[in-house]
Structures are given as structure tokens and as C-alpha cells.
Amino acid sequence: MIIDNLAEFASKKFGQNFLKNDIYLHKIIQAMPDDNLKVAEIGPGLGDLTKELVKVRNVTAFEVDKRLCEHLATEFEAPISQGRFELQCGDVLERWGEGSLLDEPYHLVANLPYYIATNIILKAFKDEQCQSILVMVQKEVAVKFSAVANQKEFSALSVLAASVGEARLCFEVEPEAFVPPPNVTSAVLLIEKNRSMDDEKFESFLKIAFAQPRKKLSKNLSAAFSKEIVEQTFATLGLTPNMRPHEAETSIYHLIYNELKDKLDGKQQSKQRKQSKSRTKNAARGE
Ligand SMILES: C[S@@+](CC[C@H](N)C(=O)[O-])C[C@H]1O[C@@H](n2cnc3c(N)ncnc32)[C@H](O)[C@@H]1O
């Protein structure tokens, strides 16, 4: 496929900013974990990163844009890619709805579409076959995932990342490295997983804990649990009541969650009971 004007060709809807810089492409390959596991690439685009990946690994790529799927099918047809390349055309998030992305252990490597980058990383946390995540994202997103306690950027995403493994911001990439250039600075983020996130409720719990980052953690938690239960939990765990959300280590969040998780169910059930009672009353009144 010949593209006269790549900036015009790029679809905003699919978050297309093509990485046109050999130095960064090589730096991504160098940052990959040192083994022979398969690679899942999300959004291969025109195949610039893919070309480097197939030199060193077997690659399964997931691309949503049909125009690019046609291009990639020709560009990487055998024997050029020596059977190292497989293409799946469609929305990767729908593919994840069916289970693991691949049916064998793999590393996720991608220059992600920024509009769904966080969503994709969170899906990869839950995918048991995914062993590591090496992705280009908006710099702010990379900072949030890799922040540690007491940094102001420490967030629910940092706790989730530290709960599945180790996250680090590898290097930053300026907008001019892409066509068209994005409006933000980018960064390559590496998360090496040593476990998967299997408890969906922990994510909801963290949303409550970080709902108002500048407020006290105990105050945020009081929105979902009674003040007495929160105070009792803090006292049991020996935590200072003045602690702000970014001041608690990941291990503290797990301790608090373990104390409160049954009560989260209890509170939700009692809320549902109240709603159902009020519906019955309204029905009796003919409302
Ligand atoms: C930032 S571009 C990266 C392109 C290429 N990998 C590069 O480095 O130049 C993001 C790519 O993700 C694709 N994409 C966007 N949404 C997707 C989705 N839901 N599932 C699969 N691919 C998607 C886009 O079409 C595009 O090719």
C-alpha cells in the first residue's frame, strides 16, 4: 500500500500515531525481557515495530483497522516473516472478552492507542498468560503506573501495578518521533508481572480509596463503609487516621482491603435491600 500523506491517512478514532524513529524502535526491542516467549503486539499499524519484533520473536498481532490489516497481510506474508507472524483483525478488547489473548505465556509489546491504553494494561493484569507489559503510552499514564508510595502521582493504578509485579518508566519519547505527532509527551513503560490480578473487587475498593486524592484516606473510605468500621480498621492495623491516599504503601491497601472486603458486600447488600423495600412501598402507593 502506498500512502501519500501519512498524517492524513492516520485515523484519530483508532488513536493512530505511527512511530517513525529507528532509535526508539531499537530501544523498545532492547527493553524486552530476555527469553523466548511469544509476543502479542496490539495495534501493529504499518508494521514498523512488528518488523523489529519478528527478527527476534514469534509475534501475534491484533489490529482493528481493516485498511492496515490488508497492508500487514501483504507485508508479512510468508516466506518474508518465516512463519513468525500471525495477524488477528478486530478489536483486541473484544478478543479479551473471550479469555486470554494467547493460549500460551506471552509478553505484550506495543505502541498503544492512547484512548484505550489504561484499559488495555488493566486487561493484561488479569490475563494469566501475560508475563510482562512493555508499552508506549502517554507519559502521565506511565508515571501513574510506576509511581511509588509518597510520590504525589501514587494512585490506584500504581497500587494495581505493584500488586501484579514491578513497574518502571524506561524512557520518554518526544511527539516529533511520531507521524502525526501526538499532543502529549510519551513514555515506554515496563511492567514485569509475577502474579495476576484475580480479585475484581480490589479495583473497585481502590477507586473508593483514591476517589478524592487530597482528602484523608479514612474520609474517602467512609463514603462506602461506616465511620466506626473505618476507625476500627485503622486502629486494628495501627494506621494513623490522618494518612492521605498517596501515603499508604501497596501492602497497606491489601491489609485494609482484607479487613473491609466482606463489609463492602454487606453494605452493598443492605443498600440493595433498602432500594427494594422502597420500590415495594412505592408500588403499594401506586407510584
Ligand atoms: C499508536 S498506533 C501504533 C501503530 C504502530 N504500532 C506504530 O508503532 O507505529 C495504535 C495502533 O493501534 C490500533 N488500534 C486502535 N484501537 C485498537 C483496538 N481496539 N484493537 C486493536 N488495535 C487497535 C490502531 O489502528 C493503530 O494501528
Q: Is the CB of 41 under 6 A from ligand 1?
A: no
Is-same-fold flag (6-193; 200-283)? Answer: no
Q: Is the CB of 19 under 6 A from ligand 1?
A: yes
Instruction: Supply the residue whose CA is at minimum distance from atom 2 of ligand 1.
Output: 16
Q: Is the CB of 93 under 6 A from ligand 1?
A: yes
Q: Are 129 and 101 in contact (CB under 8 A)?
A: yes
Q: Is the CB of 92 under 6 A from ligand 1?
A: yes
pLDDT, the chain, mean: 92
- Contact residues for 93 (Cβ-Cβ < 8 A; gap 6+): 116, 119, 120, 123
Q: Of 268 and 130, which is predicted with more confidence?
A: 130
Instruction: Supply the residue whose CA is at minimum distance from atom 5 of ligand 1.
Output: 45
Index of the ligand 1 atom closest to the CA of residue 19: 9
Question: What would the pLDDT profile of 136-154 be if each residue is shown by its tens digit?
Answer: 999 999 999 999 999 999 9
Fold of the 6-193 domain: Rossmann fold (3.40.50)
Q: How confident is the model at residue 199 (pLDDT cuts 50, 70, 90)?
A: confident
The domains of the chain are located at 6-193, 200-283
Q: Of 286 and 17, which is predicted with more confidence?
A: 17
* Burial (CB count within 10 angstroms: exposed 0-12, middle 13-18, buried 19+), residue 57: buried
- Predicted ipTM of the assembly: 0.99
Q: What is the CATH number of domain 200-283?
A: 1.10.8.100
Phi, psi of 13 (to 5 degrees): -55, -35
Phi, psi of 149 (to 5 degrees): -50, 145
Question: What would the pLDDT profile of 18-31 be if each residue is shown by its tens digit?
Answer: 999 999 999 999 99
Q: How confident is the model at residue 263 (pLDDT cuts 50, 70, 90)?
A: confident
Q: Is the CB of 109 under 6 A from ligand 1?
A: no
The predicted pLDDT at position 272 comes to: 45
Distance 175 CA to ligand 1 centre (A): 16
Q: Is the CB of 206 under 6 A from ligand 1?
A: no
- Residue 75 reports pLDDT greater than 70: yes
Q: Kindly list the distances between the CA atom of residue 201 and the CA atoms of 160, 234, 254, in Å, as whole numbers in the listed order.
A: 12, 20, 12
Which residue blocks in the chain are alpha helix, DSSP H?
6-9, 22-31, 48-56, 66-75, 92-97, 117-126, 139-146, 156-164, 200-209, 217-221, 227-237, 250-284
Query: Where is the binding site for S-adenosyl-L-methionine, in residues?
Result: 17, 19, 43, 63, 91, 111
